[in-house]
Structure 1
Amino acid sequence: MTDDDPSQTSRWRHGARLAACIVFLLTLFYLVAVARVIDINSVRDMVEATGPAAPLVYVIVSALLGAILVPGPILAAGSGLLFGPLLGTFVTLGATVGTATISSYLGRRAGRESARALLGPTRANHLDTRLDRHGLWAVVAQRFIPGAPDALSSYAFGALGIPLWQMATGAFIGSTPRAFVYTALGASIGDLSAPLAYTAITVWCITAILGALAAHRTLRTWRRRNEEAEPTAKS
């Protein structure tokens, strides 16, 4: 293989494209999550000023902010502070599904072609088959893993080719416990010793344990299936 091999040049091009996407997302994450260039309090005040339309407005604004990597717990806490634990949980869920759909779509548009090119046809087709069957539950499991960034994961899922309906459904199912937790904590911000706050913390602990177990089992299952598929692919 020479240095001018078109296939090698194509792989370098796709690799550079994915690297550029990753650098862009990490820079965005630093700006909004670390440097805090967006004032969430000002956003919350703006939404509150819309009156009866505030829940719907917050869903839309929060979904967009989540897609540019504003941390979900902060947005959920704002929802709880504005709308209380009950309505706030539904607002948070709507925003979470919106963020997952937007991020996955952008990830697919920006990185799907390059991801397939780097994986190669055989591995890409094998991964597509796995994701068609189990993509929904992969999204659910990711949402249960403590500390896993939802928006960044959604971008990655989109690049890997998980269908949008699986992203939206998986985000709704998997995010329900955490949506309640962070929204309830936001609603209890003035009294973290209230029963609602203790309930939220208990739900978070249970979710974290289940998420860790699910992630371990999913990883072990995927590894076993990949090992079983390798001899078939080589033959």
Structure 2
Amino acid sequence: MDDVHKLKKLKKRRPSYQLLLLVALLLLGLLAQKLDLVDWLEVLEVSRHYAHHWWFPPLLILAMAAFYALALPGSFFMWLTGALFVPIVATLIIVIGGVGGAVGGYFVSRRLARRECARIKHQPLFNFIRRHGDFVALCAVRTFPSFPHSVINYGAGVLGLPLGYFVLSTIIGFTLKGYLYSAAIYQLTTMDEPGEFLSWQLLAPLIMLSLLFIAAKLIFGRKPSLANGP
């Protein structure tokens, strides 16, 4: 009986295959982004031939959403869309695709980590991270340059952050990033030295916005967390 009891206890402590799959998706996505396995310049050249078709923007939105939902490097679509369309149209595509993929990633991680979350939801560290994962914090990390969106999407799902605040912060983040990137790429077509522009004129506003969100978080940090609902 003692052995059976120990075995059951060991099984409860052992991570479920759903959690292992979630971690694998996240790590593979980050690795794919670092290795840059796809020749995106070739994808851009092919895309130019089809960008004028009515079905191409919806296809971009679906592809971007799928990439983000599966923790793949969806940020490329910001650059691809910015190179193919005027800033306003590109921003709209980026926001719809980014938010769709973020919500998909949220529910994928929520589903895969549900059993593990039930085990650790009363742990102090889990509650601490969840308590500080409020609307302002989500806006700060979402607007910060190069911060992996897959980490935000999956992390919010695992923590069970309120979907409404998650979606709103995602809309804000993708709107700001999407427009800045799209406008920058649009201007790059007429610039002789784009590297200097990208090094600070594009990143500085995003960093400043992120710091402003962090400052607001520190100033109003003693107020009740939005992660616990209104």
TM-score normalised by L of structure 1: 0.72
Structure 2 portions without partners, runs of 5+: 226-230
Contact map agreement 2:181 2:202 (CA 8 A) in 1: no
Q: 1:104 to 1:42 in 2, by over 3 A?
A: farther
**Quick check: 1:34 aligned with 2:39?**
no
Residue 146 of structure 1: CA displacement? 3.2
- Which residue, 88, 105, 108 being the options, matches 2:107? 105
Distance 2:25 2:198 in 1: 38
Residue 213 of structure 1: CA displacement? 4.6
TM-score normalised by L of structure 2: 0.74
The residue aligned with 2:26 is: 25
The residue aligned with 1:114 is: 116
Residue 179 of structure 1: CA displacement? 1.0
Report % sequence identity.
20
Distance 1:199 1:176 in 2: 18
**Quick check: 1:11 aligned with 2:13?**
yes
Q: 1:57 to 1:218 in 2, by over 3 A?
A: same
Written as runs of structure 1 = structure 2, the 5 A alignment for 1:56-135 is 56-120=58-122, 130=131, 135=134
Contact map agreement 1:18 1:115 (CA 8 A) in 2: no
Contact map agreement 1:180 1:200 (CA 8 A) in 2: no
Q: 1:198 to 1:126 in 2, by over 3 A?
A: closer
The residue aligned with 1:205 is: 204
Distance 2:179 2:108 in 1: 27
Distance 1:116 1:94 in 2: 32
Q: 1:80 to 1:210 in 2, by over 3 A?
A: closer
1:126-161 Cα offsets, whole Å, 9 max, x none, are: 877x48xx7433322221233321122111110111
The residue aligned with 2:167 is: 168
> Counterpart of 1:23 in structure 2: which amino acid?
A
> Counterpart of 2:27 in structure 1: which amino acid?
L
1:54-99 Cα offsets, whole Å, 9 max, x none, are: 2222111122123334434421111011112121111111111112
**Which structure carries more helix by proportion?**
1
Contact map agreement 2:69 2:102 (CA 8 A) in 1: yes
Aligned residues between the structures: 220
Contact map agreement 1:81 1:186 (CA 8 A) in 2: yes
Distance 1:204 1:156 in 2: 24
Structure 1 portions without partners, runs of 5+: 227-235
The answer to which of 149-158 and 5-14 deviates more is 5-14
> Counterpart of 1:81 in structure 2: which amino acid?
A
